[in-house]
Amino acid sequence: MERILERYERYSYAERQLLANDDPENQGSWTLEYAKLKARVDVLQRNQRHFMGEDLESLNIKELQNLENQIDAALKHVRSRKNQLMYESISELQKKLVKGCKTLYLYVDAKMNIMEKL
């Protein structure tokens, strides 16, 4: 449904642009731009309400399934990013552990050499 509204806005905006170009002063261009942006803001606000679980009564089954698919895709993206950050964190911790173990080994080895010399 959103795509249909966007397509309608695009075509109606393009038609208004053609009509505005006929006007030598292009007086209506700002009005048309405002109308286009206002319509886009309205669509985005409606979508945001739907993502927040509000105003779902007006949606039909197909739109609800589309919304569910969008939310599932977003959730997969978030989980993927979370896993990536966790793997990077684990990798960094492993590097620090290896470095710490090497430092500890060198320290113990140096102490053993001192003990052997005594």
* Residue 1, both tokens: 């449904």
Contact 43, 5 (CB under 8 A): yes
pLDDT 10s digits, 43-64: 999 999 999 999 899 889 999 9
Q: What single letter denotes the amino acid at residue 56?
A: L
* Confidence class for position 88, pLDDT limits 50, 70, 90: very high
pTM of the model: 0.56
pLDDT at 4: 72
Chain centre distance of CA 61: 25
Residue 2 has pLDDT above 60, yes or no: yes
Length of the chain counted residue by residue: 118
Residue 78 structure tokens:
């978030």
CA nearest 51: which of 70, 76, 37, 79? Answer: 70
Residue with more model confidence, 93 or 15: 93
Terminal-residue alpha carbon distance, the chain:
85
Per-residue pLDDT of 90-108, as tens digits, reads: 999 999 999 999 999 999 9
